[in-house]
């Protein structure tokens, strides 16, 4: 859907009508049980990186509206996923993976993003990874294993960057997934201590049959302020035959081409640059971040996004350009639900129309 840019100039009713009509079509496709095989192309693609508490359905759709070809969901831990059951949410037209015996939505998607959505998983066990992947694999374009997160919660569980020092376990997880699923399997890594070590690991990963490899051009000990090492990503690209997705220091649209030329990568992934302004994916140039922010709020309302996730994402946007001590930030912090957020951003009418139209939409 490329009508995002015009949404800002429409009435709330027309915006709701466009959103709900598209959502209704997506729901019909879910109901029909679309079972076509999904393939993923990586050449010259712009990719939204996985971001915890950010990469939920509204933000993924927002990035896609502006031009993202592939969108990664936030990392979901395998332990959480295996406790879930798949539920078609007739209320909002989504497919939800809900923790059994609760109302807790662990993962939400919709049919309109199916062919570009990558489900990223945190795992340290091949059997558990397969069990979790099989629950969600029919609703996504690919399943990715996180091997680059340096956060303590991930590493302490033997997941994320902890896997980088366990090549046998990496092989076990990836080959188990490849042998038992038709859905493409990929993984995302960081750089090791030497370029040679990273290349050797990448070659071993390639032999498992993965469809692509994403590489964050920083080492585990590096901080975001440290420059990404594009030259070491280039070493990996030259050593492999599978597509490599380059990630690191992409903050403007022109950076997509710069890193692609510097590394030879098939595709380029962006995290912080997209978080701060999702219109980074647009070849027309960025629009004002305030407009992007408001469209994110609308999508969060439309898809009934978790309010904590929505607030976290908005805080990240605000603190990059401003601060939370101003009235907007204070009101955001006090907000307890999506209705409160609608008031903060002047979207009360939109919130009301979405709520009113859901009943009639579901009645059809």
Residue 186 CA to residue 242 CA, distance in Å, equals: 10
Q: List the alpha helices (DSSP H) in 163-306.
A: 167-180, 195-206, 230-239, 253-263, 272-276, 289-302
Instruction: Look at the alpha carbons of 66, 86, 77, 265 in this order and tell me if their dihedral is positive or negative.
Output: negative
11: exposed, middle or buried (Cβ count in 10 Å: 0-12, 13-18, 19+):
exposed
Q: How far is CA 49 from CA 35, 68, 267, 271, in A?
A: 26, 10, 12, 5
Catalytic residues: 149
Q: How far apart are CA 25 and CA 7, in angstroms?
A: 19
The Cα–Cα gap between 157 and 77 comes to 10
Q: What is the CA radius of gyration of the chain?
A: 20
Q: How crowded is the C-beta side of 351, counted as CA atoms within 13 Å?
A: 18
Residue 223 CB neighbour total at 10 angstroms: 7
The C-alpha angle with vertex 54 and arms to 133 and 51, in degrees rounded to 5, equals 60
Helices (H), the chain: 4-7, 12-32, 57-66, 78-81, 126-136, 152-155, 167-180, 195-206, 230-239, 253-263, 272-276, 289-302, 307-321, 327-334, 338-344, 348-363
Contact between residue 130 and residue 177 where contact means Cβ atoms under 8 Å apart: yes
Could you tell me whether strands 84-89 and 94-99 are parallel, antiparallel, or unpaired per DSSP bridges? antiparallel
Query: Tokens standing for 252?
Result: 């403007």
Strand, coil or helix: what is 251? coil
DSSP state of 73: P
């Amino acid at each position: 859907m490329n009508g995002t840019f015009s949404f800002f100039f429409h009435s709330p009713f027309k915006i709701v009508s466009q959103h709900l009509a598209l959502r209704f079509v997506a729901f019909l496709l879910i109901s029909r049980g679309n079972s076509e095989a999904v393939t993923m192309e990586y050449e010259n693609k712009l990719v939204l990186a996985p971001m915890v508490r950010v990469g939920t359905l509204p933000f993924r759709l927002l990035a896609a509206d502006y031009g993202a070809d592939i969108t990664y969901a936030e990392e979901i831990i395998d332990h959480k996923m295996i406790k879930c059951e798949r539920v078609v949410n007739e209320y909002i037209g989504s497919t939800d993976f809900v923790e059994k015996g609760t109302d807790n939505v662990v993962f939400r998607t919709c049919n309109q993003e199916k062919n570009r959505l990558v489900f990223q998983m945190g795992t340290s066990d091949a059997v558990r990874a397969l069990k979790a992947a099989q629950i969600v694999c029919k609703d996504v374009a690919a399943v990715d294993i996180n091997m680059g997160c340096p956060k303590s919660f991930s590493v302490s569980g033997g997941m994320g960057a902890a896997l980088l020092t366990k090549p046998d376990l990496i092989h076990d997880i990836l080959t188990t997934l490849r042998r038992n699923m038709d859905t493409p399997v990929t993984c995302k890594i960081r750089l090791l201590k030497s370029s040679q070590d990273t290349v050797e690991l990448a070659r071993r990963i390639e032999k498992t049959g993965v469809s692509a490899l994403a590489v964050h051009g920083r080492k585990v000990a590096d901080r975001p302020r440290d420059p990404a090492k594009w030259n070491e990503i280039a070493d990996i690209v030259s050593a492999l035959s599978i597509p490599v997705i380059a990630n690191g220091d992409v903050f403007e649209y022109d950076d997509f081409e710069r890193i692609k030329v510097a590394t030879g990568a098939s595709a380029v992934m962006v995290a912080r640059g997209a978080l701060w302004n999702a219109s980074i994916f647009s070849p027309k140039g960025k629009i004002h971040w305030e407009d992007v922010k408001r469209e994110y709020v609308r999508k969060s309302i439309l898809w009934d996004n978790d309010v904590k996730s929505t607030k976290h994402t908005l805080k990240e946007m605000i603190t990059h350009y401003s601060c939370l001590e101003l009235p907007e930030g204070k009101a955001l912090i006090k907000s307890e639900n999506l209705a409160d957020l609608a008031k903060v951003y002047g979207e009360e009418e939109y919130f009301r129309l979405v709520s009113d139209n859901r009943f009639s939409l579901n009645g059809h």
